A = this chain, B = another copy of it.
Amino acid sequence: MYDLLKGLTVVEAAAFIAGPTCGLYLAQFGAEVIRIDQVGGGPDFRRWPLAPNGESLYWEGLNKAKKSVVVDLSRPEGRELAQRLATAPGEGRGLFVTNFPVDGFLAYERLKALRDDVICVRVMGWADGRPALDYTINAAVGVPFMTGFPDDPRPVNHAFPAWDFITGAYAALSLVSAERARRAGQGGCEVRIPLSDIAATALGNFGHLAEALMLGDDRPRQGNDVYAAFGRDFMIKGGRRLMVVAITARQWRALVGTLGLADKVAGLEAELGVSFAAHEAVRYQHRDRLYPLFEAAFAERTESELAPVFEAEGVCWSRYQTLTEAAKDPRLFDGNPVFGRAAQPSGMDYPVAGPAATVVGRARGAPAPAPKLGAHTDEVLAELLGMSDGEIGALHDAGLVKGPA
C-alpha cells in the first residue's frame, strides 16, 4: 500500500477479473476503493477455489484493500442508491469502474445526469456489448493456434487469463488519466475498454498483425521456441528443464561461454558463414543447427553446476518450476517483500500480494485484506452521501442495504 493516489475515491461495481483488478491496483496505490456488492455477493463471490471455510480465495485475492457496501440492486431504490454512490459529490470522487452493461441502470447518461463531470471506466467483452470472456477473446484472435507444439494440431488455450489482467491495469491507467484530464478542465467522460480491443491492439502493437497480413498466414506454432531469438527449454542432467533465452549479444556470449561451446559455435559459424552474435535472428534462423550442441551440453550438467556460473555471467535463464515449487522461491512468493500477511476472510495464512510496484524508500506496509461483504455499508453511506444514522437505519429497515453478516 502506497499513498500515490491518496485523495481519490473510486466506486467499483464489477465482477470477475478485469474490473476488480482495476480497483485492486488503484487501492494498492492509495485510492479509497468502494465496492458496491449485491446482497449475498455478486456472480463471482463464491467462485472457486474455495477455502475450507467456504470463502472464495479468488474473490478475496481480487478485492483486497477495498471497502464493501451491500445494496439490493434488484430494486429500483437500490439501483438509484448505486447511482448516487458512483456520482457522490466532492473532489476526487465521481470515479466509477464497472463491467455492467452500457445501457442498463449504470449507463453513463444516467450517471451524468447526477454528476456532470462523472468519470466512468467500463470494462466490456466485445465493443458492441456482446458477451465475451478472456477465453473466448483468446480463441477469436488466434493465440491458441500459435501455442503448443507443431506435432499436435489442437488449439491450446492459455491457462493464465492474460487479457483480463492487461485490461485491469489499462483500466486503472485510464481512470487516473481521465481524472487528471478532469482536473485540467476537460470534464468527465466514459472510457470503454473491451477485452476484444485490448487483445487486438496488443497483437497489433508488437507487429504480429502486420506480419500475418504480410505473410498471408499465421506464424507457425513452434513449441517453446522464442520467436526470432535463441530461446527454448532444455533438459538438464536429472531430467529437469530450464528455460534459456539469449536475445542480446551479451546474453548469447555468456551462454555460449558458460556452456563451453565457444569452439563448436565458432566452427558452425565458419561452416555457415554467419556471426551468431551479430543479430538474434541469425541464431533463430539456424536454431536447428545450434540446438544439438546445446542439448548435449545441457544434458551433461546439473542445475547446481549451472546456476552459479549462469548467475555470475548474466545468462538469462530460469528453471521450470511448478507453482507449488515457486511458492517456496524467496524471489517470488514466500520471502518476497512484495508479499505479506493479511487477515483474509478465508482465515487462511498464506503470502498475500501487495502492489507489484516498489516505491523505493517508502514504506509499503502490510497488504490490506478483502472486506467482509457489507462491512463498510454504514460508513460509506454516511461519508459519501452524508446520510444520518436515521436515514441509514431506514434503508436497513427497508432491506435496501445490508451490513456484515
Contacts and interface: CB of A to CB of B under 8 A. Distances in A.
A3 B208 CA distance: 27
A306 interface: no
B49 A358 contact: no
Contacts of A227: 48
Number of copies: 2
A126 B318 CA distance: 11
Contact of A205 (B29, B51, B61, B162): B61
Interface in A322-361: 322-327, 329, 331-333, 336, 338-339, 346, 348, 350-361
A194 B139 CA distance: 29
Given A128-B331, A135-B231, A147-B157, 9 more contacts: A132-B318, A133-B316, A142-B326, A146-B159, A147-B159, A149-B152, A162-B162, A166-B169, A210-B346
A140 B321 contact: yes
A61 to B, nearest CB: 5
B160 A43 contact: no
A162 B206 CA distance: 12
A267 interface: no
Given A7-B184, A156-B224, A181-B4, A360 B209 contact: no
Interface string A187-219: 001111110111111111111111111101111
B4 A245 contact: no
A158 B160 contact: yes
A170 B356 contact: yes
Contact of A133 (B132, B174, B245, B327): B245
A106 to B, nearest CB: 14
Interface residues of A, number: 161
Nearest to A245: B133
Nearest to A138: B243
A32 interface: no
Interface stretch (A52-60, A291-299, A393-401): A52-60
A62 B206 contact: yes
A75 interface: no
A68 interface: no
A63 to B, nearest CB: 10
